[in-house]
Each structure stands twice: as structure tokens, then as C-alpha cells.
């Protein structure tokens, strides 16, 4: 076996194309090792530099007592909206479906999920894991949320007009 590899190696080194390929591979490996060594030395050199002293913190100007404090903001209540039989709560700017009976977040799943990707356009099932309440809607969850957002925007515009 060793004789076979030595014969192949000798022929490859003597071949004009293969000798260039071998030289390129060896040169590339050597260049990569050299670059890694230089990067290591550079990082070690940068770590060894003297630490930078932070600039002194400047004192803030004295607070003028004649300026009144801004009014305290009332804590906002989380928005609770009922839309198409589902209670929707807003948390972190996101509208979440909740059970109208026990107010637990509902799980949303396409009724035919897992069968085929084409069926994700079908009805969406909302189910409460706490009390077992469930309902279905035709379309996607995102379509229902978009309709709710449009309703909220309409209500906000109507409130601002009055």
C-alpha cells in the first residue's frame, strides 16, 4: 500500500498540472497558517497596550427650582378588545387572542396543519387549553389580526373626530 501511494505521489509531482495544484494547496495552507499567527500576535499586542483612563464625569448643571416637574403619567391599562367572539389583549405592541370565558391566551392552529402546506390557507382554530373553549375562522390568523387592527384604527379616528 505504501508503495502504491509513493508511486502516485511521484507521478503527481512530475505531472505539470498536478504539481501546480499541489503547490497551490500547500502554499494556501502555509499562507492561512501565517495569517492566523499574525492575527494572534496582533491581538496579543493590542491586549498588552496600556489601559485607557476614562474621562472624568462632568457635573450636571444645577436644577432650576422654578421649572415645574412634568405631570406624572397614569399607567396605561392593557387594551382589551372583543372582535369576532374572541377577546384580544395587547402585550408589547402585539395583539394576542384570549379566551372570552377564562381570559387565558388561546392557541392558534390551522385546522388542517400537518397534512400539507397548501392547507395553511384553510380555517384557523383557536382553542383554550384551560376551559376547552374553541372556535374556527376561515382564512389566516394574520388576516384576522389585520381586520382587528383596521377596526382599532377606525375606532381611534372616530374618537379623535368627536
Give 99-119 pLDDT, tens digit per residue: 888 888 888 777 665 555 555
pLDDT band at 148 (very low <50, low <70, confident <90, very high): confident
H or E stretch including 96?
strand 94-98
The structural domains of the chain, with segments of one domain joined by +, span: 8-47, 80-161
Of 136, 78, 79, the closest CA to residue 109 belongs to 136
pLDDT band at 31 (very low <50, low <70, confident <90, very high): very high
DSSP state of 136: E
Please compute the mean of the pLDDT values over residues 17-40 and round it to a whole number: 87
Please compute the mean of the pLDDT values over residues 41-48 and round it to a whole number: 77
Q: In angstroms, rounded to a whole number, what is the distance separating the alpha carbons of residues 98 and 65?
A: 48
- Please tell me which residue, 86 or 55, carries the higher pLDDT value: 86
Are 149 and 143 in contact by the 8 Å Cβ rule? The answer is no
Position 98 scores a pLDDT of: 85
Position 63 scores a pLDDT of: 56
Amino acid at each position: 500500500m505504501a508503495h502504491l501511494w509513493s508511486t502516485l505521489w511521484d507521478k503527481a509531482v512530475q505531472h505539470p498540472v498536478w504539481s501546480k495544484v499541489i503547490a497551490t494547496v500547500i502554499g494556501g495552507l502555509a499562507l492561512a497558517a501565517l495569517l492566523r499567527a499574525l492575527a494572534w500576535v496582533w491581538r496579543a499586542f493590542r491586549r498588552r497596550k496600556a489601559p485607557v483612563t476614562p474621562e472624568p464625569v462632568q457635573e450636571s448643571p444645577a436644577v432650576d427650582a422654578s421649572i415645574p416637574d412634568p405631570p406624572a403619567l397614569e399607567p396605561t391599562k392593557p387594551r382589551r378588545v372583543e372582535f369576532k367572539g374572541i377577546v384580544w389583549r395587547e402585550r408589547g405592541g402585539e395583539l394576542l387572542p384570549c379566551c372570552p370565558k377564562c381570559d387565558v391566551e388561546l392557541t392558534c392552529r390551522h385546522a388542517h396543519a400537518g397534512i400539507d402546506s397548501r392547507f395553511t390557507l384553510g380555517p384557523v382554530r383557536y382553542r383554550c387549553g384551560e376551559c376547552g373553549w374553541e372556535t374556527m375562522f376561515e382564512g389566516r390568523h394574520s388576516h384576522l389580526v389585520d381586520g382587528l387592527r383596521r377596526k382599532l384604527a377606525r375606532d381611534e379616528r372616530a374618537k379623535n373626530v368627536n
